[in-house]
Structure 1
Amino acid sequence: MKRTDFTLKPSLIAMLAAATLLTACGDDNDDDTTVVVTPPAPVMQTFTVTVTNLTANQPMSPVILASHASDAMLWNAGEMASEAIEKIAEGGDTADIAALSVIKSSVNGTGLLMPGMSETLTLTLDEADVASISLATMLVNTNDAFTGINSYTIAGMEVDATTAMKFMAYDAGTEANSEAKGTMPGPADGGEGFNASRDDVDFVHIHPGVISMYDGLTDSVLGASHRFDNPVLAVTIMRTE
């Protein structure tokens, strides 16, 4: 039988090797391909809230402004005040409100809000967290008067949109309105703030106002200038971003 011998040319061997290598690399890429998805950057919204004390001689404790879900309420008229509201209404302490599980973020005022004065607070929120805001502050020349915003919806506000409102004073119903020396933390008395015992009607209601020593409450340390009518607080909300 005739024998036929043949030899592959070096160039052909190189081409076959390259094809085999490319096929192997293609298989590896198919097995190890990872798709990286970059999440979109969060969209932030900024709101400024300006508060003005409308009273003649009732300084207000440092304000707390908080954001939360739309179904959250800090207080309900006719119902018992939470300890968080009791603490701010009797002593201006905002820590328990800030710590509530429903609060997503909060900011405090820089100091006492004096009569006739204004202060602006700013909240910057992820668009996904924009729902409602609340605000609270104590009228410090009282036993347990407070005021503020109770769950106002800011969702859907356009940039540069502004809302102006006025708010009344509430009585926490946790401490009797004795106006007696040593029972109020404000400059008219310099007395006690929060006291855990409750000796009043124990439900939130519209504050009837102070009586003062000049109106027949002989044990009162308050004067005529400490009296107030509703509303006691002006608030302007603006979306700035």
Structure 2
Amino acid sequence: MTTGARGLPMTRRTALATAGATLGGLALGGVTLTGAQDGGNQSARTYRVTVTNLTPGQPFTPPLVAAHRPDVEVFAVGDQANEPTRQLAENGNLGPLVDLAGSTNSIRGAAAGASPLVPEADPGETGLPYYDTVHLTTDASAGYLTFASMLVATNDGITGLDTVPLPEDVNESRTYYANGYDVGTERNTELFADLVPPAKTLIVGGEPEGTTESDPALAENGVIRPHPGIQGDGDLDPAVYGWREPAAMVQVERLEGLQEEFGATLRGTSEVPPVETDAMGSATFELDRDGDELDYEVSVENIENVVAAHIHCGASDANGPPGVTLFDGGPVSPDGVLAEGTITEPDDDNGCGWESLDDVVTALRGDYTYVNVHTQANPGGEVRGQIV
């Protein structure tokens, strides 16, 4: 598909430049890029898409998914890669694909994930997830799904699905497996010097190492083919960075509608690491009809000297930064409601990269947020619960 891609300034090797994710601060923020466009009398459809990294040693850029009509083709094996796909594969730059999704009427809905996806074992100890969930709202004319992410520790590899059918019925789900593809923008040197800087950090840790410049001497013909995998010709050890196909699993469910009510059960055992405490609690959230306000209530018991409570971004087995302050002003020792109110925007300059209430709600729907209640005795958190 080549229609309407405006293209963004090429920032070679930024890898996490869009979709609200930056490696340096591990800032996370899922974004719904487009909703259903002019659908006429066709009823809206909602899909939940979960992308899971199946590799032992390849990080992905935040996944981009799009619901579209059958005339859309983002990439195809044996064909020349279009510019948005080339920039994703070589630079980790989602910007041109985001632009494309917003500029062609055939793409009826698109969304980007909240975070880069690392292997489940998290060998780089990043605290990042190995799966992410996004939601799409579209109409009945969009019968197909396309997914794409960069294989970060490659010269120009992606994993993706090209035009697979969406579920037709409410509560129907489909599972797809995505292989790796070489987009052919440059030779596979497998040298850290030629890769995006996060390629090393996301798997083995340490400081980023790589380049922010393209090397014309490595240019290839741009024809997409199955990825040969990691050969061990440069700095990449196949035992560390290699993978066996499939690289990703994509689960697609058609829902009755988008979730508007959320809750969390707060326990010391949910802290990372667990905290031994008699304290417990709960949190509830409800989005108003217009989506402009998120009402909340946090209740606790058997807890002393509470100093703060937040919505954090992060998986259930990791610690993430706060994005929304729910309580700040202790120390207090309540039994009952700790805090209640209405959220209209996230905290300024929050570590999750959330810029609007829409970003917060997208993250809540993605099973990648938790409530944490902090006390004087446990400043890192005494009781915590994942928001579902």
Structure 2 length normalisation: TM-score?
Answer: 0.47
Aligned to 2:370: none
Distance in 2 separating the partners of 1:202 and 1:42: 39
Between the aligned partners of 2:212 and 2:82, the Cα distance in structure 1 is: 16
Which runs of 5 or more structure 1 residues have no equivalent in the other structure?
A: 1-39
Q: Please show how residues 67-106 of structure 1 align to structure 2 within 5 Å.
A: 67-100=67-100, 101=104, 102-106=106-110
Instruction: Report the AA paired with residue 194 of structure 2.
Output: T
Q: Identify which range, 183-192 or 138-147, moves more after superposition.
A: 183-192
Correspondence for 1:54: 54
* SS of aligned partner of 1:165: strand
Aligned residue number for residue 228 of structure 1:
243
Cα distance in 2 for partners of 1:88, 1:232 equals 17
Report the count of equivalent residues. Answer: 194
Bigger RCO of structures 1 and 2 (CA < 8 A, at least 6 apart): 1
> How far 1:229 sits from its partner (Å)?
1.5
TM-score of the superposed pair, with normalisation by structure 1: 0.74
The match for 1:19 is none
> Which residue does the alignment assign to 1:192?
211
Instruction: Say yes or no: does 1:147 pair with 2:167.
Output: no
Shift of 1:43: 2.2
What is the alpha-carbon root mean square deviation over aligned residues?
A: 2.0
Distance change >3 Å, CA 169–CA 96, structure 1 → 2: same
What SS is found at the alignment partner of 2:176?
A: strand
What's the CA shift for 1:190? 3.2
1:187 to partner: Cα distance: 3.1
Distance (Å, rounded) in 1 between the aligned partners of 2:252 and 2:163: 13
Structure 1: which 4+ aligned runs deviate by more than 6 Å?
none
Q: Does the alignment pair 1:208 with 2:221? A: no
Q: Is the 8 A contact 1:80 1:202 kept in 2?
A: yes
User: Is the contact made by 2:90 and 2:157 (CA closer than 8 Å) also made in structure 1?
Assistant: yes
1:182 partner SS: helix
- Label 1:51 to 1:184 Cα distance change in 2 as closer, same or farther (>3 A): same
Q: Is the 8 A contact 1:84 1:97 kept in 2?
A: yes
State the distance in 2 between where 1:76 and 1:193 align: 27
Instruction: Return 5+ residue gaps in structure 2 as ranges.
Output: 1-39, 121-129, 201-207, 257-388
Percent identity between matched residues is 29
> Which structure has the larger Rg over C-alpha atoms?
1
Q: Does the C-alpha gap of structure 1 residues 208 and 41 become closer, same or farther in structure 2, counting only changes over 3 Å? A: closer
